[in-house]
Amino acid sequence: MRGKIVSINISDGGVPKLPVNGSAQVTHGGVAGDRQRNLKVHGGPDRAVCLYSVERITALQGEGGSIIPGAIGENITISGINWDTMTPGMRLEIGKSAGGMVNVLLEITSYTAPCRHVADYLPGRKLARILQDKNPGWSRVYARVLQAGPIEVGDTIEIIQ
């Protein structure tokens, strides 16, 4: 299954994360220039990158949420992938160099529990709307970086496992 990057988002801590101008470097610590406010629950090697679906964002907007890409803390907003398939253990290849080599390889490690800081962006301020236990397939996901490199808006994302 293939999708693409529609937005790359960073912040100096907290939400919303704002879009970068087209490209960014992904390191083993996360997206360059991004910082998390609470390192007890965000960041670190197993939570280096947060991903979410633009299709889920559009659906939440339709339910009355003011959510936009990056508003609830995802670093990479993706289109074209069935979000129900994004489960821990899944590996994603992002982008290809001119020589056909994959730029970035991520492995999904966990679902991302929402914190109170994202409530303003959700329909009815209901955090459970994006909580995996309550609404399977609606959570953001965390990933570890297996191969660091550059990414840019429009890059393809391919599920390989």
> What pLDDT score does 48 carry?
94
Q: What is the pLDDT of residue 35?
A: 75
User: According to the model, what pLDDT value does residue 44 have?
Assistant: 65
Give me the pLDDT at residue 97, please.
Answer: 79
Confidence (pLDDT) at 13: 83
Strand-by-strand arrangement of the 149-152 sheet: 30-31, 23-27, 149-152
**pLDDT of res. 14:** 83
Element (H, E) at 77: strand 76-79
Digitized pLDDT (tens) for each residue of the chain, 161 residues in all: 799 999 999 998 889 999 998 899 999 999 999 877 555 655 567 989 999 999 999 999 999 999 999 999 999 999 999 999 999 999 999 998 778 888 999 999 999 999 899 999 999 999 999 999 999 999 999 999 999 999 999 999 999 97
pLDDT at 41: 52
35 CB burial (10 A radius; 0-12, 13-18, 19+): middle
Greatest Cα pair distance in the chain: 48
Contact 92, 158 (CB under 8 A): yes
What is the identity of the amino acid at 80?
G
Over the range 112-142, which residues count as b (16 or more CB within 10 Å of their CB) and which as e? bebbeebeebbbeeebebbbbeeeeebbbbb
The domains located in the chain, with CATH, are 2-159 (2.40.33.20)
Please report the pLDDT score of residue 148 as a whole number. Answer: 97
Give the span between the Cα atoms of 138 and 41, in whole angstroms. Answer: 19
Q: What one-letter code names the amino acid at 89? A: G
Asked, as a colleague might, if the bond just before 88 is cis with ω within 30 of 0, I would say: no
